[in-house]
Chain A
């Protein structure tokens, strides 16, 4: 994924944490905010399932 001229290896970073990414790729000169944004673009947050939406069987 290209972010501000830097091409990050998406497949590699998919299995790593945001903290690892920021620590490893800070040498490119991007700010922490930018690095966080780049990470989110590569590894989108999985939306948590709301408990209200889940169906539970009522006990008789």
Chain B
């Protein structure tokens, strides 16, 4: 066609050496936040940003949740919609939405935790077996693809295949524009270990007992074991008590807002409890509830309490 208008809407079709293509899926990270331009200027900065995001509290909007290693992946994309004319011309009318299923290993507790993401619209980053992170760009920020997730598992194994402890996640990508036309990538180097991204475990504080202004709390991971939740005290109780400077507390009715100083902290190994001593004067005058606010996961990590998110607790001031 001599008088083409294509020049304003199409690109040239040359290709650079080593043009990246998605490899076998290795990891998936749920990340509703972003990585700003300054933090993806180099792969080292990008890697550091991912690690920092993985260690944030789950309530932080920049939190990244890393899932276990992918053991199997199958394409589940919708086929393209095609149309034909009566004389035989067949063409693609629109592109099918991308989707896939991947399997990873996990028990009943991890399945229950994953299922809290069922049917949630989130953003995901993909990490492939070639060491490349994939996502998209919104403005100047690096972001994950918009996707809907659904987790299945927990069925009885039949003994015919590898089924025991296998969790399957179905990923439905929302935007072909993000996934096909605006994918962006970041290559990692051999010194950037994807395993440095942390998956955290929730640990609940529960008020147990007190003597005057010294209150004792259990520290347990909720789970499906009927015997009871798993206490982290014997493993990291002493380390947690050592982070007294990173704890804070408040008192007051409803949601406490009045500062309540913590003067000391110790791990009571005999009873497997954390003993927290509050300022006696402030404690005496406190009314309503007591809220104990623990260190952030990043502060815990710095104190060698790794892969852990301690959750704050609010309870009535004991009589």
Contact = CB atoms under 8 A, between A and B. Distances in A.
Interface residues of B, number: 19
A12 B261 contact: yes
Given A11-B245, A27-B277, A6 B263 contact: no
Given A5-B238, A9-B244, A9-B245, A24 B263 contact: yes
B242 A9 contact: no
A50 to B, nearest CB: 35
B264 interface: yes
B241 interface: yes
Given A5-B238, A7-B242, A27-B277, A12 B214 contact: no
Nearest to A8: B264
A25 B278 CA distance: 10
Contact of B280 (A11, A13, A24): A24
Contacts of B244: 7-9
Nearest to B264: A8
B261 A27 contact: no
A31 interface: no
Contacts of B243: 7
Nearest to B240: A7
Contacts of B263: 8-9, 12-13, 24-25
Interface string A27-40: 11000000000000
A contact residues, range: 10 to 19
Contacts of B245: 9-11
A8 B275 CA distance: 12
Which of B242, B244, B262, B280: most chain A CB closer than 10 A?
B244
Interface string A18-60: 0000001101100000000000000000000000000000000
Which of B214, B242, B245: most chain A CB closer than 10 A?
B245
A39 to B, nearest CB: 12
Contacts of B280: 24
B214 A9 contact: no
A28 B244 CA distance: 15
Contacts of A12: 261-263, 279
21 contacts: A2-B242, A6-B264, A7-B243, A7-B244, A7-B265, A7-B266, A8-B244, A8-B263, A8-B264, A9-B261, A9-B264, A11-B245, A12-B261, A12-B262, A13-B263, A24-B280, A25-B263, A25-B264, A27-B214, A27-B277, A28-B264
Given A7-B265, A24-B263, 5 more contacts: A2-B242, A7-B244, A8-B263, A9-B262, A9-B264
